[in-house]
A and B are shown apart, each in its own frame.
Chain A
């Protein structure tokens, strides 16, 4: 389903303060129906605070917010009945079994027993937990708990699903399984809002995203847009010894459009990585290692904030 033009979540100058501290500072964004919209940013950027305001579990301090055309200040229960929430930290009911977790959650939404049972079974299949239906929640692996939380967020057949770091802490295999399920969810027409501090997650899942840093949105666009706008096509990563690094002072500037110096390596932003690598060799700079890769959102973030995403 192509992203529609209808705006499902609309925020203007949206602000969250905790006492004197501003966690979300006057951000603007629009999430359209049917798209997967990302919030990419490092720890403490304000992603969760923003999600919680959208999910009506945190009062907004200032600004405008509408969710599915409703105002969280006055219509929270109606909004909540139409969205699904996957919180950053799992809050499954440890005293109930896997299936009971879904059935009970259905009860909270006032979904009748028979329908609830059918949906619970479908969703357990959807997240591939059918065989664990009768088990307790506690012994499940992190990835299984995450999938159960995702299944639970879908029990009310929501139009909008808010996922706060859906794959943080999971091993690569578990992450791919979650991604694949989220992709299918989107295929079925759900609108997704996803926060992450993994650039590959954002690139894989999001049609559009905002980059958040220190309570503010610093850029917005599709992953490709952002890379085009803020980076070159390729990146040459080189490692040199400290002694060599000390003698470089600007010798590589004209090889690349831009050079980023990180503690452990240098990033040369270039159109053609192999060509740039030859140019570096021509200048007889002794390299410990060299790698040519495509530019990613990580590079966008570095450009925008001068820092890496995961410190």
Chain B
């Protein structure tokens, strides 16, 4: 994507920001509540039952410390995926926003890049608020913890691109219910979000390690806690997410083009 293409893409982002101007308060409030509820209920409540501080199961961390960054990554995935489903299909088919945009000098690559910028912005706000709430619980270790934000954005974009590709093939929203039920929710549970994958049989652990959320969780947890044991081979995680996102973006571009320029 050249700088040339970025300016028109920024206009597509701007359109979403204009709409966001009306709804941002509720949206930010929601971004506060999610971590607050999770960390209180699961972290402190359940956590006090499952582990004493310094339990070996969580590499010497309390459960709430282990859990917080995992939920951060998973929540960002969820929001990024959601933004790439109904809102995108709506713009393709019910509301025809893309048709209107394509009657201007904008092209399909700009639409795609603009939506990805928007998802990046959403994940930025969600992860920043999440990090702030975790700070109340004394979880993040700064300054490295700040890198959790780009890590979360990378995770969100990797998912977003491939889900936009999927959305470009849909006629109704039915496919999205399937996507959430059979892909996103299992990923949420089995990507090392709530417990270390070493608890699972080897085969399952390997399968989980092939999913993008696993790598996102590793990056976010490793940076938030500034803990090499969680971070693991970080260039590998980054490379995996970049590759996953690039394939997704390639497909999304092709499929959107096929759908929108018939």
Please list the residues of chain A having a beta carbon within 8 angstroms of any beta carbon in chain B: 18, 55, 57-59, 76-78, 80-81, 85, 87, 89, 91-96, 100, 104-105, 107-110, 156
Chain B residue with the shortest CB-CB distance to A84:
B103
Known contacts: A87-B99, A93-B97, A108-B11. The answer to whether A18 contacts B262 by CB under 8 A is yes
| Chain A residues with CB below 8 A from B107, complex form | 76-77
Answer yes or no: B145 CB below 8 A from chain A CBs.
no
Majority secondary structure of chain B interface residues (helix, strand, loop or mixed): helix
Known contacts: A107-B14, A108-B101. The answer to whether A95 contacts B106 by CB under 8 A is no
| Chain A residues with CB below 8 A from B102, complex form | 57
Chain A residue with the shortest CB-CB distance to B20:
A95
Question: Of A18, A89, A91, A96, which is in contact with the most chain B CB atoms at under 10 Å from its CB?
Answer: A91
Mark contacts of B1-26 with chain A using CB atoms, 8 A cut-off: 1 yes-contact digit, 0 otherwise. 00000011001001100110000000
Answer yes or no: B254 CB below 8 A from chain A CBs.
no
**B105 contacts which of A57, A77, A95 (Cβ < 8 Å)?**
A77
Q: Say whether A59 contacts B18, CB under 8 Å.
A: no
Majority secondary structure of chain A interface residues (helix, strand, loop or mixed): loop
Known contacts: A18-B262, A89-B96, A91-B95. The answer to whether A55 contacts B103 by CB under 8 A is yes
**A81 contacts which of B95, B97, B105 (Cβ < 8 Å)?**
B105
| Chain B residues with CB below 8 A from A156, complex form | 104
| Chain B residues with CB below 8 A from A107, complex form | 11, 14-15
Closest-CB distance, A101 to chain B (whole angstroms):
9
Q: Say whether A85 contacts B97, CB under 8 Å.
A: no
Answer yes or no: B49 CB below 8 A from chain A CBs.
no
Q: Say whether A110 contacts B105, CB under 8 Å.
A: yes
Mark contacts of B47-74 with chain A using CB atoms, 8 A cut-off: 1 yes-contact digit, 0 otherwise. 0000000000000000000000000000
Mark contacts of B91-115 with chain A using CB atoms, 8 A cut-off: 1 yes-contact digit, 0 otherwise. 0000111011111111100000000
Question: Of A87, A93, A156, which is in contact with the most chain B CB atoms at under 10 Å from its CB?
Answer: A93
Chain A residue with the shortest CB-CB distance to B11:
A107
Chain A residue with the shortest CB-CB distance to B16:
A95
Bound state CA distance, A266 and B104, in angstroms? 48
Mark contacts of B102-133 with chain A using CB atoms, 8 A cut-off: 1 yes-contact digit, 0 otherwise. 11111100000000000000000000000000
Closest-CB distance, B112 to chain A (whole angstroms):
15
Q: Say whether A92 contacts B103, CB under 8 Å.
A: no
| Chain B residues with CB below 8 A from A58, complex form | 261-262
| Chain A residues with CB below 8 A from B100, complex form | 87, 91-93, 105
| Chain A residues with CB below 8 A from B11, complex form | 107-108, 110
Q: Say whether A57 contacts B18, CB under 8 Å.
A: no
Closest-CB distance, B204 to chain A (whole angstroms):
43
Q: Given A55-B103, A80-B105, A104-B15, 16 other A-B contacts at CB below 8 A? A: A85-B103, A87-B96, A91-B97, A91-B99, A91-B100, A92-B100, A93-B97, A93-B100, A104-B18, A105-B104, A107-B14, A108-B101, A108-B106, A109-B105, A110-B11, A110-B105
| Chain A residues with CB below 8 A from B101, complex form | 108
| Chain A residues with CB below 8 A from B15, complex form | 93, 96, 104, 107
Interfacial residues of chain B within 216-253, with CB under 8 A of chain A in the complex: none
**A95 contacts which of B19, B104, B261 (Cβ < 8 Å)?**
B19
Q: Say whether A96 contacts B105, CB under 8 Å.
A: no
Bound state CA distance, A242 and B101, in angstroms? 55
Bound state CA distance, A87 and B95, in angstroms? 13
Bound state CA distance, A138 and B102, in angstroms? 22
Q: Say whether B96 contacts A108, CB under 8 Å.
A: no
Closest-CB distance, B122 to chain A (whole angstroms):
16
Bound state CA distance, A76 and B110, in angstroms? 14
Chain B residue with the shortest CB-CB distance to A109:
B104
| Chain B residues with CB below 8 A from A77, complex form | 105, 107
Known contacts: A91-B97, A93-B15. The answer to whether A59 contacts B261 by CB under 8 A is yes
Q: Say whether A80 contacts B18, CB under 8 Å.
A: no
Bound state CA distance, A230 and B262, in angstroms? 36
**A96 contacts which of B19, B103, B106, B261 (Cβ < 8 Å)?**
B19
Bound state CA distance, A142 and B101, in angstroms? 21
| Chain A residues with CB below 8 A from B18, complex form | 96, 100, 104
Bound state CA distance, A270 and B23, in angstroms? 66
Question: Of B19, B97, B104, which is in contact with the most chain A CB atoms at under 10 Å from its CB?
Answer: B104
Closest-CB distance, A104 to chain B (whole angstroms):
5
Closest 7 CB pairs of A and B: A91-B96, A108-B104, A85-B103, A77-B105, A91-B100, A95-B19, A81-B105
Chain A residue with the shortest CB-CB distance to B101:
A108
Chain B residue with the shortest CB-CB distance to A79:
B105
Bound state CA distance, A85 and B96, in angstroms? 14
Bound state CA distance, A58 and B261, in angstroms? 5
| Chain B residues with CB below 8 A from A59, complex form | 261
Chain A residue with the shortest CB-CB distance to B22:
A95
Closest-CB distance, B12 to chain A (whole angstroms):
8
Question: Of B19, B103, B105, which is in contact with the most chain A CB atoms at under 10 Å from its CB?
Answer: B103
Bound state CA distance, A95 and B21, in angstroms? 11
